[in-house]
Amino acid sequence: MAYLMERVNMGGNNLKIDINKDFLKEYKDNFFKGFSVSEVIHLVVALGVAALIMYVAVRYLHIDIVAAVYISVPFIIPIVFSGIYMYQDYLKPKDYMLERQYTLASERLHYETEEADVTKYFTMYHKPAYKKNTITDTLRKKVG
């Protein structure tokens, strides 16, 4: 029975739990060789556009195949960039533009706080606007 009553000293900090820092980064949606579905679709579309441009350049414009590859690169870079690049490792360019539009549209939202603004009090009384004296008013005061 003595072995049942034995105390086990855990030592306080022996329990280690690994917590992922960023869920979206740690558990990326892997579809093909580490790429997500969206990234694979953008890469396939970019290859299709490059193949089409090279076919037209070689077949109809009679340009060398190496030059046709160089011609197609500026057309496929935006497609690949929009599929793979992530702003601050979180937003794709399309999602970033939508977030930016929302931020610009909602930047002037009004809010209410619990603290009273002591510099401004609401009142129905308004001081009359200051009337600027004209020359004729000044002459009337002096004469009258």
Per-residue pLDDT tens over the stretch 17-45: 666 666 666 666 677 777 888 888 999 99
Q: Has residue 74 got a pLDDT over 70?
A: yes
- Residue 27 pLDDT: 63
Confirm if 53 and 72 have CB atoms less than 8 A apart: yes
Return the pLDDT at 8. Answer: 53
Q: Is 46 exposed, middle or buried (0-12, 13-18, 19+ CB in 10 A)?
A: buried
CA 16 to chain centre: 35
pLDDT at site 103: 84
pLDDT, one tens digit per residue, over 98-121 is 888 888 887 776 666 666 666 666
Are 24 and 47 spatial neighbours (Cβ–Cβ below 8 Å)?
A: no
Give the pLDDT score at 106: 77
Token pair 């992922």 in the structure block, residue: 20
Residue 75: the pLDDT is: 95
